[in-house]
Amino acid sequence: MSELVHNFPPHGEPDRDHGHGHHEHEHHDPGFWRGCIFSSDHKIIGIQYGLTALGFMLFGFFLMLLMRWQIAHPGQAVPFLGPLLEKVLGQMAAGGAISPDLYNSFGAMHGTIMVFLGVVPLAFAAFGNYVVPLMIGAPDMAFPRINMASYHAFFFGGVVMLVSFFIPGGAAQAGWTSYSPLATTIPTNGQAFWLIGMVLLITSSLLGAVNFIATIIQLRAPGMTWMRLPFFVWAQFVTAFILLLAFPPLEAAGVMQLMDNLAHTSFFLPTGLAIGGHLANISGGGSPLLWQHLFWFLGHPEVYVLILPAMGIVAEVIANNTRKPLWGYKSLVNSVLFVGFLSFIVWAHHMYLTGMGQKIATFFQATTMIISIPSVIILTCLFLSLWGGSIRINTPMLFVLGFLPMFGIGGLTGLPLGLAASDLYLHDTYYIIAHFHYVVAPGTIFALFAGVYFWFPKMTGRMMNEFWGRVHFWGSLVFMNLVFMPMFAQGIKGMLRRMSDGAVNYSAARVPNAIDALPGTVMELNTWILWAAVALGLAQIPFIVNLFWSIGHGEKVKNDNPWDATTLDWQTPTPPPHGNFAHAPHIVRGPYEYSQPGHDTDFTPQNEPDAPAIAPKVSPVPAAP
Amino acid sequence: MEIPYTIQARPDTGLYNAKLGIWLFLASEVMLFGGLFSAYVLLRVGAPDGYWPHGWLNVTLGTVNTLILALSAITTLLAWVACKTGQFGRFKIFHACTLALALSFLCVKMYEYHDKWIHYEIQLTDGRIADGHLVSQNAQEVVIEGRYVSDEKDLYDLRAQKNIPRDEIKIERSLIKRMENYGPWHHTYLAIYFTLTGLHALHIFAGSLVIGYLWGPGSRMYRKNPEQFTNRVEVSGLFWHFVDLVWIFLFPVLYLT
C-alpha cells in the first residue's frame, strides 16, 4: 500500500514554500455573478445549497404552522396572516381561513419541500459539497461545472414548486406521496407542476450523486486510503449511491404520471374508474399499485438519504468533542454499507394496507426487521463513543447529544410499523407522523444544526455565538418534544392524518354515541401542539439572527483549527481559498487520532508527518515495578 | 488549481474521472429504464386475457431500426479507434456515418409514430367497429382505409391475421359513437410503447447532439489536446452503446411478443 501511495503524483500547487498569505496574487476576484451565482467552486455551491435549503425549510415550517392553526381551529380565519393569504391565494383562502383544498395542498407541499428542497439539499448537497472535498484532500469536486448545473437544476425545481401555489386550482394536493388515481383526478395543474419540479430535483440529485461518487473514488489525496476516510465521507458515499440508484425509478414513475395527467394515458388508472359518479373517459387497464411500488422504491431509501449524512455529522462532532477515537469505526463503515444495500429491499413496508398479499408482506417484514440491526449498531457505536471521554460541551455537541436519544425514539417507535399486524392499526394515524418526525426533525435536523455550528468557523473564519446557540438548542429540544410526543397518543387513540378539520368529525363531542369516537383530551392536544409549534418557531429566531450576525460580528477564530480537529477539512486556510489547500496534503494516519499517547497535543491531524526520529524521548518508558 | 485525473487515469482505479462518471450515470439510466420495464411487466401481467395487443407494430421497420443502431455502434467504435490511432480523417468519416444512421433511425421512428397517429378505431352506433388509417374527414363523414370487425377482441391479436383487408370505408358522422386514434391514451400498451420509445428517442437525439458537437466544432480540440479529445469520444461512445443496448431490449419486448 505504501508503495502505491508514493507513486501518486502530488496534486496541483507543487510550490511548498507558499503560506496561505500568498494566494492573493493568483486569486482573481471573480465578481458577484461569477463568484456567487455561477460559481463552480464546491464551497460556494455548498453555501448556495445551504442557504437555499434553510430558506425552504423555514417556508415549509410556515406551511406547517398554518396547517396546525387549521387543525386546532378548523374553519376560523388565520390570525395576522389571514388577509394576506386571501389576497395572494384568492378563493382557496376565502375569508382568511384555510379551505380543505388549501389544507391538502399545504400538506402535500410541506412534505415535498421539507424532504426534497430542505433536508436532502442541506444534508447531502450543502454539507457534502462543502466538506467532502476538504476531508479527502481534493482541490474541488471531480466535475465542477456539473456541480454548478446540479445546483441550478435544484433551484429551478424549487421555483417550479413555489410557482404552483399561484396557478388556478393551486399546488398539488395529493400528498407528498402523490398516490394515483387521486393525483390524476384532482382538478388542478398543480400536480403537473409538482411532477416537473420533481424531475428537475431528481436530475439535480443524480448529477450530484455522480459527482460525489467520482470525487470520493478519484480525488482522494495520496495516502487517503478507504479505511482512513472520515465516517462522514463514508456516509455521503453510501448516500450518493442510494440517490443514484433509487431516484431514477421515481423519475420513471413521474414521467408516467405526467403522461397520465397531460397525455391522458392510464398507467396508474384502473379499468372502471369513476370520478364524481361518472365513469372516467380513459382506456383503463392501469395499476395504482404500480405507482406505490415505484414511489416507495425511492421513498424508503430516501429515508436513509435523510439520515445517513446526519449520522456522519454526528460521528465527526462526537469524535471531536469526546477527544477520543470513534468507537468501532470498522463496524460503523460496514453497517452503513449494509444499510445502504438493504434500504433497497424494504420499500413495501409502506404498503401493508394496500392489498399486495400476505406473502409479500412477510418478506418485507423480515427485511425491515433485519435493517434495524445495522442501524442499531451505528447508534450503539455512537453512544459507546461517549463512554470514558472527557466531553467538551458546546453547541454542536449539545445538538448531537440531543440527536442520539431523539433519533432513538424515532427508530424504536418504528418497530411496530414494520410489523404488518400492528401497522394495519397504526397506518395513516398521527402515530406515523410522530414516528417519522422524530427521525427527521429532532433527529436529522438537530444533526444539521450541529453541522452548521460546527463548520461555520471554517466557512467564515468566525465562531457563532455560544450563548444564543444554547438557547436555540434548549428551546428546540423542549418544544420539538412538546409538538411530537402528543401525536403518539393521538395516533394510538385512532386519530387519522390528513384531515383538514383536525378530526372534529370523529370527536366524541360531535358524535357522542359513536364507538371509539375521539375523546376530548385527544382533541385538546391539537391546541397544545399548535402553541408548542409556535414556540418552536420562536426558538429558531436566535439561530437565524446568530447565523447572519456572526458572519460579520462573531468572535474571530483563534487559528485555522479552532476545534482542535484531526480531519483534513480543518488543515486548510480559513476560509479555504479556491483550490483548498496551501500544501498538497499527504495523509499518513487514520481520521480520529485523538489523545494519542506520546504527542504534545491531544489531537494528531491526518496529514501531520510522524514525529521525526531525531526528537529525543523526554521520558522513557517507566520500568516495570 | 487543477483537478487531478481529468485526462490521465488514476493508477489504483485505472479510470479517468469522466469515464467513471459516465459509468455511474449509465447505472442510473439502467434504473430509469428498469423502472419503465417493470411497469411494462406489471401492466402486461395485469391485463385481462386477450386484451394485451400482439402484432400492432411493424416488425420489418423494427428490424431495420435494430440493424441501423447495430451499425451505428460499429461506426462509433471505429471512430474511437481512429482517434486512438491518430487518424483524424477516418474519425470524421465514421462519426459522419454514426450521425447519418442516428438520423435515419429517428426518421423511421417518426414514420412509425405517424402511422399510429392516423390509425383510428371507430365505434359505431350499430355495435360494429371500423378500424383503419384515416384518409380524409369533414363535418359530415370520415373516410378510412381499413376494415369492419364485430368484436373489439379481434383487434388485439394481429399475429395470426394475414392479409388484413384495407378497403376504403366511408362513415357518416351521425353513426359514430366514439372515435379514437392509436395514441398513448388508447391503450396502456400504446402508453408504455410511446413512453419507452419516446424516452429512448430522446436519448438518441441527445446522443446525436453530443456526437454532432464532437464531430463539428468540438473536434478542434483534437489539434491541441488529442488525448482529452479521444477521452471525450470514448465517453460519448459509451453512452451511445448504452442507448443501443436499450433498443436491443425494447425491440423484442414491444415488437416481437
Contacts with B, A 149-188, CB within 8 Å: none
Q: How would residue A23 be classed by pLDDT, with cut points 50, 70 and 90?
A: very low
| pLDDT tens digits, B148-189 | 999 988 999 998 888 888 999 999 999 999 999 999 999 999
Taking a C-beta distance cutoff of 8 angstroms, is the pair A238, B22 a contact?
A: no
Sign, CA dihedral A527-A528-A533-A536, equals positive
Q: How would residue A27 be classed by pLDDT, with cut points 50, 70 and 90?
A: low
Share of chain B above pLDDT 70, in %: 100
pLDDT at site A25: 45
| pLDDT tens digits, A129-180 | 999 999 999 999 999 999 999 999 999 999 999 999 999 889 999 999 999 9
> For residue A17, is pLDDT > 50?
no
pLDDT at site A37: 85
| pLDDT tens digits, A391-431 | 999 999 999 999 999 999 999 999 999 999 999 999 999 99
> For residue A7, is pLDDT > 70?
no
* Min Cα separation B36/chain A (Å): 6
Q: Which residue ranges form the domains of chain B, and what is each CATH number?
A: 22-116+186-256 (1.20.120.80), 119-181 (2.30.30)
pLDDT at site A242: 97
For residue B36, the chain A residues in CB contact (below 8 A) are 252, 255-256
pLDDT at site A145: 95
pLDDT at site A225: 96
Nearest to A287 among B3, B21, B46 (CB): B46
Find the radius of gyration of the CA atoms of chain B. 23
Give the domain ranges of chain A: 393-555
pLDDT at site B193: 97
pLDDT at site A18: 41
Nearest Cα to A411, choosing from A430, A387, A437?
A437
Q: How would residue A8 be classed by pLDDT, with cut points 50, 70 and 90?
A: very low
> For residue A454, is pLDDT > 90?
yes
Give me the helices (H) in chain B, please. Answer: 17-46, 59-84, 88-117, 188-215, 221-224, 226-250
pTM across the whole model: 0.93
> For residue A472, is pLDDT > 70?
yes
Say yes or no for a CB contact (<8 Å) between B24 and A244: yes
Q: How would residue B10 be classed by pLDDT, with cut points 50, 70 and 90?
A: very high
- For residues B84, B86, B87, B92, the Cα torsion angle rounded to the nearest 10 degrees is 60
Nearest to B11 among A7, A206, A578 (CB): A7
Bridge partners of residue B143, in order along the sequence: B136, B170
Residue A32 neighbours by CB distance under 10 Å: 9
Say yes or no for a CB contact (<8 Å) between B1 and A13: yes
- Mean pLDDT (chain A, rounded): 91
Q: How would residue A514 be classed by pLDDT, with cut points 50, 70 and 90?
A: confident
> For residue A461, is pLDDT > 80?
yes
pLDDT at site A24: 41
Task: Number of A to B CB contacts under 8 A, please give it.
Answer: 151
| pLDDT tens digits, A380-392 | 999 999 999 889 9
> For residue A617, is pLDDT > 60?
no
More confident residue, A22 or A508: A508
Sign, CA dihedral A453-A454-A458-A464, equals positive
* Min Cα separation A36/chain B (Å): 18
ipTM of the complex: 0.96
CB contact, 8 Å: A283 with chain B? yes
pLDDT at site A26: 47
Within 13 Å, how many C-alpha atoms sit on residue A301's CB side?
A: 26
Say yes or no for a CB contact (<8 Å) between A285 and B10: no
For residue A144, the chain B residues in CB contact (below 8 A) are 3
Give mean pLDDT, residues A223-240: 97
> For residue A460, is pLDDT > 70?
yes
Q: How would residue B68 be classed by pLDDT, with cut points 50, 70 and 90?
A: very high
Say yes or no for a CB contact (<8 Å) between A251 and B46: no
Q: How would residue A618 be classed by pLDDT, with cut points 50, 70 and 90?
A: low
Mutate to test the interface with A, among B45, B152, B185 (most CBs of A within 10 A): B185
* Min Cα separation B231/chain A (Å): 15
| pLDDT tens digits, A94-111 | 999 999 999 999 999 999
Q: How would residue B105 be classed by pLDDT, with cut points 50, 70 and 90?
A: very high
A55 torsion bin: left (phi>0), alpha (psi -120 to 50), beta (else): alpha
Buried b (16+ CB within 10 A) or exposed e, A424-455: eebbebbbbbbbbbbbbbbbbbbbbbbbbbbb
